Chain A
Amino acid sequence: DVKVTQSSRYLVKRTGEKVFLECVQDMDHENMFWYRQDPGLGLRLIYFSYDVKMKEKGDIPEGYSVSREKKERFSLILESASTNQTSMYLCASSLSRVRAFFGQGTRLTVV
């Protein structure tokens, strides 16, 4: 079965810190995604990547950047963490036109 692994389940960071969230998939999927999930707002797409070194902004990219140097790894970077970035972050991967597989999520708290 496909495995999408996020580096941390829980993370607490201070305001202003640079934060890296890592995601690795083991099935050679070309597409990878970062979503954040907040109560009442659902899943919102931050960035996605359809190939190595290729990326596209999602609906809420402000305050975030991404890196995809290898096909299996997709990193989300919070350049300067703020309290409004406290959220559940979900990584996903997929082949073209078929279902996406999700990681277990990282609950990030910025204090």
Chain B
Amino acid sequence: EDQVTQSPEALRLQEGESSSLNCSYTVSGLRGLFWYRQDPGKGPEFLFTLYSAGEEKEKERLKATLTKKESFLHITAPKPEDSATYLCAGRGGGSEKLVFGKGTKLTVNP
């Protein structure tokens, strides 16, 4: 059974304090690893797609990387507006289903 596990469940950072969120996956025939951001009471908002090990994508203070077993979302010098829940999802071979992790709730204090 395909599985995606995110850690930590919650992370508190001071503004400017860089860190990383982890997403480990066991998804058969991975055909895409997706990162989303979700604000309270809203639907997830797309951030990145990674398709193969070694791939990296960047957007402002966020950088996503992928290995054969896990993905990292690196946050450099975060700001309070980066506070949100970050979700990771995998899509396996032969299916369009996205399997989600439970998310990491990030709080950035000013």
Total residues of chain A contacting the partner, CB 8 A: 27
Query: CB of A55 within 8 A of chain B?
Result: no
Query: CB of A43 within 8 A of chain B?
Result: yes
Q: How far is the CA of A94 from the CA of B98 in the complex (A)?
A: 11
Query: B18-26, B42-50, B61-69, B71-79: which one contacts chain A?
Result: B42-50
CB closest residue in chain B, given A91: B43
CB pair A103 B43 closer than 8 Å: yes
CB pair B46 A41 closer than 8 Å: no
Which residues does B use to contact A, with CB under 8 Å? 31-32, 34, 36, 41-46, 49, 87, 89, 91, 96-103
CB pair B31 A97 closer than 8 Å: yes
Most B Cβ at <10 Å: residue of A4, A42, A58, A103: A42
CB pair A105 B41 closer than 8 Å: yes
Q: How far is the CA of A24 from the CA of B98 in the complex (A)?
A: 19
A97-B91, A102-B36 are known contacts; what are 14 more A-B pairs with Cβ within 8 Å?
Answer: A31-B96, A42-B101, A43-B100, A45-B97, A45-B98, A97-B96, A99-B49, A100-B46, A100-B98, A101-B46, A102-B45, A103-B43, A105-B42, A105-B43
Q: Which residues of B contact A42 (CB under 8 A)?
A: 87, 100-103
CB pair B43 A90 closer than 8 Å: yes
Partner of B34, one of A33, A58, A96, A99: A99
CB closest residue in chain A, given B44: A102
CB pair A107 B34 closer than 8 Å: no
Cβ proximity bits A59-92 to B, threshold 8 Å, 1 near / 0 not: 0000000000000000000000000000000101
Q: How far is the CA of A95 from the CA of B85 in the complex (A)?
A: 25
CB pair A94 B43 closer than 8 Å: no
